[in-house]
Amino acid sequence: MLDKNGIAKRIAQEVQDGYYVNLGIGIPTLVANFVRDDISVEFQSENGVLGMGPFPFEGEEDADIINAGKQTITTLPGASFFDSATSFSMIRGKHVDLTILGAMEVADNGDIANWKIPGKMVKGMGGAMDLVASAENIIVAMMHTNRAGHSKLLKKCSLPLTGVGCVKKIVTNLAVLEVTNEGFKLLERAPGVSVEEIKNATEGNLLIEGNVPEMLI
Amino acid sequence: MIKKVVSNVSEALEGVQDGMTFMLGGFGLCGIPENAITELVRLGIKDITCISNNAGVDDFGLGLLLQKHQIKKMISSYVGENDEFERQMLSGELEVELTPQGTLAEKCRAAQAGFPAFYTPAGFGTEVAEGKETREFDGKMYVLEPAFKADYSFVKAWKGDEAGNLIFKGTARNFNPCMCGAAAITVAEVEELVPAGTLNPNKIHIPGIFVQRIFQGEKYEKRIEQRTVRERMD
C-alpha cells in the first residue's frame, strides 16, 4: 500500500519531457518532488505563473509571488507571469499537457466530484471546473477509500459534480486504474496489495484482465 | 493628457453608493486593493455586491467588509479561508454565487472587451450550469455565461503613471488586468505613481484608456496567507 508520497511518486512517472503541468492542492503538489531531473517540465499555477520553482529560503519570501494554494514560491529561469484570463486560456485552450488533481469521488464513467459537500463544506470550486472540463489528460490522485472506509471509486458520484466524463486515469494508495467505456480498468497494484483487496475497496465497475502487475516505484 | 490622478483614496472612491456592484482584484490576499477596501469600510456603504476571486480572511481584505455586514452578495470562485464568511453564508445573511475561476476571469474580460456573453465548457453537467443555455460545438457541450456588469472596478498595480498606464508585479497581477475597464469606472491604486513618460511603453501591461482614476496607495501590508519556506542546505 502506498502513502501520499508514494502516490505522488507513481504519478511522477506519467510526466513526460516537454510537458506543461498543472498541479492541484494536496497530493498533486507533491508530484513536483519526484519528477525525474533529466527531463524538462514546466509547472503552471492558475493564479498566474508558469515555471514555478521550489519554496523560497527563509527571508526570501515575496508576498507578490505565490501559487494557487497561496503559498510563497520561487520561479525558475524561463518563468513568466500573466493575468487570470490568460491563465485560463492556457487551460481551456488545451495548452497545458497534464492536469493532476485530487477528488472526493470518481465514477466509473469518468465523472468527478471534488468541490462541495452540501451543508458541510462549501468553499467553492476554484479553478477545478475549468481544468476538468478542458484538459485532455487528467490524472486523479487520491486515497482509494474515505476516512469512513467507503470506496471513492463509485458507480455514480453522490456529491455535486465538478465535471462529467473527464477523468482518464486514477492513482490511489492501492492501484492505478484507467477509465474505460466499461468502467475502471485495473492496470497496476500497489506493492503488497492483492487484486481481491482492490476489488473490495472499489464500488464502481472494475475490469480485471489477466495478471495485474505490481507497480514499479 | 487626460487628468486621471486623484490626490487620495477618498477622491478616488467619489460616487460609490449603497447597493452598487464592485469588482475587486486579487487572488487570496495577493494583489488586493488594500486602500480601496479600507476606504469602503470607512464609508460604511451597505448592500454591496462584490465580484472577487476570494473573500479575504477574517481580519484582512474583504473580510473587513464582511465583519461590518456591508456585503449583500459575493461572486467568487473560492471562499475557504474565512470563518465569518461561512457563518454569514450558512445563516443566509450573505448571498453567494460560486463561479469557476476561469469563467470568473472571462466574465470580467468579456465586460472589458465588449462581449455580452461567451460559451465555456467549464461547469457543463454540474449545478453551475443549471438554468443556463447550453450548446454543442464540434461534439462538445458548452455553457453560455454572460459578461459581468459593475459600477466600479478597484484594482491594485505595482507601478502606474499619470496617464493611467499600469504595470503589475509577480502573481499580484491575477484578476487585476481583467477588471480594468470592465466596470463603469476603474480606480487603480499603485505602489508607485510616476510622471507620464517615465514608464517604457513596451512594458505597459494595461494601457491607461482602461483606467479612469489613479492614485498612489499608502501603507501596503501585503499579508502572506501561507508563508512556506525550504531549509537551507549548508
Q: What is the pLDDT of residues A51-108, one digit of tens each?
A: 999 999 999 999 999 999 999 999 999 999 999 999 999 999 999 999 999 999 999 9
| HSE-CB for A136 with a 13 A CA cutoff | 8
Average pLDDT over residues B96-124: 98
Give CA–CA dist A102/A86, Å, rounded: 24
Statement: residue B80 has pLDDT above 80: no
With beta carbons less than 8 A apart as the criterion, state whether A121 and A131 touch: no
Q: Do B30 and A64 touch (CB under 8 A)?
A: yes
Residue A121 has pLDDT above 80, yes or no: no
CB B187 within 8 A of CB B155: yes
Beta strands in A130-208 (DSSP E): 138-141, 153-154, 169-171, 175-180, 183-189, 206-207
> Looking at the complex, does the CB of residue B113 fall below 8 Å from at least one CB of chain A?
no
Residue with cell 487585476: B176
B30 DSSP 8-state letter: B
Q: What number of C-beta contacts closer than 8 Å exist between A and B?
A: 177
Pick the residue of B126, B127, B168, B219 with the most A CBs within 10 A to test the interface with A by mutation: B126
Tell me which residue in A83, A84, A133 faces B122 most closely, judged by beta carbons.
Answer: A133
Q: A61 catalytic, yes or no? A: no
A42, A46, A105, A203: which is the annotated catalytic residue?
A: A46
pLDDT of res. A122? 79
Cβ <8 Å between A83 and B127: no
In the predicted structure, residue A19 carries a pLDDT above the cut 80 = yes
- Cell 455580452 belongs to residue: B116
Contact A57 B76 (CB under 8 A): no
- Residue of B122, B169, B170 with shortest CB distance to A130: B122
3-state secondary structure of B220: coil
Nearest to B126 among A127, A134, A162 (CB): A162
What is the complex's ipTM, to 2 decimals?
Answer: 0.96
The pTM assigned to this predicted structure is: 0.96
Residue type, B2: I
Closest CA in chain A for residue B109 = A85
Whether residues A125 and B172 touch (CB distance < 8 A) is answered with no
Compute CA distances B13 → B35, B42, B213, B215, whole Å.
10, 11, 9, 11
pLDDT digit string, tens, across residues B174-226: 999 999 999 999 999 999 999 999 999 999 999 999 999 999 999 999 999 99
Residue B220, C-alpha cell as written in the block: 501596503
Task: Count Cβ atoms within 10 A of the Cβ of residue A28 and give its class: 0-12 exposed, 13-18 middle, 19 or more buried.
Answer: buried
Within 8 A of A85 by CB-CB distance, chain B residues are 105-106, 108-109, 177-178
Give yes or no for A163 touching B (CB within 8 A).
yes
CA separation for the pair A84, B178 (Å, rounded): 7
The CA distance from B86 to the nearest CA of chain A, in Å, is: 8
Q: Which of B80, B106, B223 lies at the smallest CB-CB distance from A123?
A: B80
Q: How many CA atoms lie within 13 A of A79 on its CB side?
A: 19
| pLDDT attached to residue B234 | 63
**What mean pLDDT is reported for chain B?**
96
For the residues A139-156, what does the mean pLDDT come to?
97
Strand partners, B202: none
Q: Do A64 and B76 touch (CB under 8 A)?
A: no
Reported as a pLDDT band with limits 50, 70 and 90, residue B86 is confident
Q: What residue has cell string 453608493?
A: B17
Mean pLDDT of chain A: 96
Confidence band (pLDDT; 50, 70, 90) for A148? very high
Cell numbers at residue A44, please?
503552471
| Strands of the sheet with A153-154, listed across from one edge | A112-113, A105-107, A153-154
Q: How far is CA A45 from CA A62, A91, B192, in A?
A: 16, 10, 27
Between the CA of residue A1 and those of A5, A176, A210, A216, what are the distances in Å?
Answer: 11, 12, 21, 13
CB contact under 8 A, B229 and A83: no
pLDDT of residue A23 exceeding 90, the answer is yes
Interface check for A70 against chain B (CB to CB < 8 A): the answer is yes
Whether residue B160 is predicted with pLDDT greater than 70 in this model: the reply is yes
Task: Provide the CB-side half-sphere exposure for B111 (13 A, CA).
Answer: 27
